[in-house]
Amino acid sequence: MIKFENVSKFYKTKQGRHYILRDVTIALPTDVNIGVLGPNGVGKSTLVRMIGGADYPNKGEILSDRNISWPLGLQGGLQGSMTARENVRFVARIHGYKDTSEIEKKVADFAEIGKFFDEPVKSYSSGMRSRVSFGLTMAFDFDFDVLLIDELGAVGDANFRKKSQALIESKFNSTKLIMVSHSMGELKKYCQAGIVIKDQSLLFYPKLDDAIKQYEETYVAAR
């Protein structure tokens, strides 16, 4: 399970605090693939980043005994002032690798960004960041219990998307997904359950079709 205990997340604006989540307590299962639904700006990427430890609540805790990846996709979880190589070394050492050269090579080969692998990540396009973060996750010998995916379908060219999707599907027997996507077709292909972000809270539905119905009633029909 992934447990949210009294979680609040906000950003400071000139008009005051802008809340993404407010006092949320919920337990999400980790035995199904979950799609995250909501319009632009509601906080889907922020939610995924917090689950993956790339961002933190302002209040409360997110707890789990599962091995959860950092976010893959347009946002990613990389440190901007470090190069891709330095990010890879840092993460590899956290996971117990003393010799990081093999991991570095795997990520560099997968990302296909050439000399930019040794440039600061803050200089990358969103697509380049996602290539590195995705390659970093897939480079390790162990499997994550949960893969976090943020708009993977928007990453890179057709060949890279095909390669990334093939790798994800190869992990299906040993891992589950929490996926952000604007493509209902993609969510239906990969996910069984759904989360809708509504009124600064999380609504979980064991059936994805019920989550899609709630999303459409809340956001699409209101336009």
pLDDT, tens digit (0-9, with 9 covering 90-100), for 112-157: 899 999 999 999 887 788 788 778 777 765 568 998 888 765 555 6
Residue 91 pLDDT? 79
Same domain? 125 vs 222: no
Same domain? 223 vs 152: yes
Same domain? 150 vs 129: no
Same domain? 177 vs 108: no
User: Which range of residues forms the domain containing residue 91?
Assistant: 80-143
Give this prediction's pTM: 0.80
Tokens 């840092």 locate to 90
Longest dimension (CA), the chain: 55
HSE of 47, CA atoms in CB hemisphere, 13 A: 32
What proportion of the chain, given as a percentage, has pLDDT over 90?
Answer: 52
